[in-house]
Amino acid sequence: MAGGAPTAGFLTVDGVRLEYRCVAAPTDAGDAAPTLVLLHEGLGSIGLWKNFPDRLAATTGLGVFLWSRAGFGRSDPVPLPRPLDYLEREVPLVGRVLEAAGVHRPVLVGHSDGGTIALLYAAREDAGHIEGVVTMAAHVFVEDVTIAGILEAKGAWETGDLRSRLSRWHGDNVECAFHGWCDTWLDPAFRAWNIEAQIAPVRAPVLAMQGCDDQYGTRAQVDAIVAAVAGPTEAMMLPGCGHSPHTDRPDGVIAAIGQFVAGLPGR
């Protein structure tokens, strides 16, 4: 975002109010430097990134921009149930959010649902401004292990403390955030969801990361991403890491993103 802009607040895009946060580059990286854009998971928000954006900015020397999608955090709610193509419907909004935020050279860094959205956006015909894409535990099709993990989360919501833990980050949006994710993925019709063909046009460099112990997906997701996209790709499996690499292995993830960005064309 432009120099002097507030570091947090709200953007209004298509009449929807979205909370955002911007971490300025620690030094003047110049107008030609990209901005790292974080896209959160299916139960995420800007708050759930915790101090990861600050550490990422400090290590890479680049600015970081992130926002809570509608229905999450303190952003405006969305009606339920979510449509089965809810991820695809987020894609056009990414460009409008980046335009509103003044982000012109993004490197998209997406976790889980956010990684899926990042790949879909980078596949658009007008996505030539995307410098690169980093995915962490992104899904491009539905696996049995994913459904099993979501069923476990549903149980923790119904009989455990997941609702109260998520309320800290989503407030009045907590029902919207959970059911918009859980109910959609558990819909039997969603089992046919697959975006491998849709991400084939991605030409920006891609770093696809996943924890070896991810409870929501297997290495097949990373292999499918690498096989599907048209541009240069790198796969990175993280031992001793679950579904949230930036939480489980932050040092390694930040170092990998820094190395990836440093190797981008023009850097």
Alpha-helix residue ranges (DSSP H) falling in the chain: 52-60, 86-101, 113-122, 144-159, 162-170, 174-185, 219-228, 245-248, 250-262
Q: Domain range spanning residue 114?
A: 8-262
127 is a domain residue: yes
pTM of this structure: 0.96
Q: Is 110 helix (H, G, I), strand (E, B) or coil?
A: strand
201 is a domain residue: yes
3 is a domain residue: no
The conformation of residue 109, written as its DSSP 8-state character, comes to: E
- pLDDT score for 32: 76
232 is a domain residue: yes
71 is a domain residue: yes
> The tokens 């658009």 sit on which residue?
124
Long-range contacts of 24-30, Cβ-Cβ distance < 8 Å, separation of 24 or more: 24/57, 24/63, 25/57, 25/61, 25/62, 25/63, 26/57, 26/58, 26/61, 27/61, 29/61, 29/62, 29/63
- pLDDT score for 6: 53
- pLDDT score for 99: 95
267 is a domain residue: no
**CATH code: domain of residue 115:** 3.40.50.1820
d(CA 43, CA 83) in angstroms, rounded, equals: 16
d(CA 145, CA 147) in angstroms, rounded, equals: 5
Task: Supply φ then ψ for residue 211, to 5 degrees.
Answer: -75, 140
141 is a domain residue: yes
Other Cβ atoms less than 10 A from the Cβ of 99: the count is 11
Question: How many domains, in total, are found in the chain?
Answer: 1
Structure token digits, residue 258: 């820094």
pLDDT along the chain (267 residues), means of 10: 64 97 83 91 97 96 97 97 97 96 96 98 96 98 98 97 97 97 98 98 98 98 98 97 98 98 88
